[in-house]
Amino acid sequence: MVRLHSLLDNDFYKFTMQYAVIKLFPRAQARYQFINRGKHQYPAGFDVCLREAIDQMAELRLTPAEKVFFADTCPYIDPTYFDFLQGYRYDPNEVVIKQKGSELSVHIEGYWYRTILWEVPIMALICQLYYEMTGSQRVSDEEVTNIVTQKMDKYDTLHITIADFGTRRRHSYDVHDLVIQTLKNHPSSTFIGTSNVHFAMKYKTKPIGTHAHEWFMFHAAKYGYKMANLLGLEHWADVYRGDLGIALSDTYTTEAFFKQFDKKLTKLFDGVRHDSGDAIEFAEKTIDHYRSKGIDPLSKTIIFSDGLDYEKVERIVHFCEGKIGHSFGIGTDFTNDVGLPRMNIVLKMTEAQPDEDEWTPVIKLSDEPMKHTGSPEEIEMAIKYLQIDEHA
Q: What does the pLDDT look like over 21-78, one tens digit per residue?
A: 999 999 999 999 999 999 999 999 999 999 999 999 999 999 999 999 999 999 999 9
- Decide: 131 and 295 in contact? Cβ < 8 Å: no
Would the pLDDT of 368 be above 90?
no
Give the separation between CA 25 and CA 112, rounded to whole angstroms: 8
Chain centroid to Cα 374, Å, comes to: 18
Query: How distant, in Å, are the alpha carbons of 78, 265, 282 from that of 289?
Result: 34, 12, 10
pTM over 0.85: yes
Q: Does residue 117 surpass a pLDDT of 80?
A: yes
- Cα–Cα dist 194/164, whole Å: 4
Q: Concatenate the DSSP letters of all residues of 264-308 into one string.
A: HHHHHS-EEEE-SS-HHHHHHHHHHHHHHTT--GGGSEEEE-SS-
Look over the chain and give the mean of its residue pLDDT values, rounded to a whole number: 96
pLDDT at position 332, please? 97
Pick 8 or 385 by higher pLDDT: 8
What residues contact residue 314 under an 8 Å CB cut-off, 6+ apart? 158
Average pLDDT over residues 167-178: 98
What confidence score (pLDDT) does residue 356 get? 77
3-class secondary structure, 10: coil
In the predicted structure, residue 201 carries a pLDDT above the cut 80: yes
338 against 373, higher pLDDT: 338
Q: Is the pLDDT of residue 392 over 60?
A: no
Classify 222 as helix, strand or coil: helix
pLDDT confidence of residue 367: 86
What three-state secondary structure class fits 138?
Answer: coil
Domains of the chain by range and CATH?
12-136+344-385 (3.20.140.10), 141-212+228-335 (3.20.140.10)
The torsion angle over the Cα atoms of residues 365, 104, 339 and 168, rounded to 10 degrees, is 50
Overall average pLDDT of the 249-256 stretch: 93
**Residue among 60, 54, 61, 84 nearest 71 (CA):** 84
Compute how many other C-beta atoms are within 10 angstroms of the C-beta atom of residue 25: 20
Residue pLDDT, tens place only, 135-162? 999 999 999 999 999 999 999 999 999 9
DSSP H or E stretch at residue 346: strand 346-353
Q: DSSP assignment of 76-91, as one string?
A: TS-HHHHHHHHH----
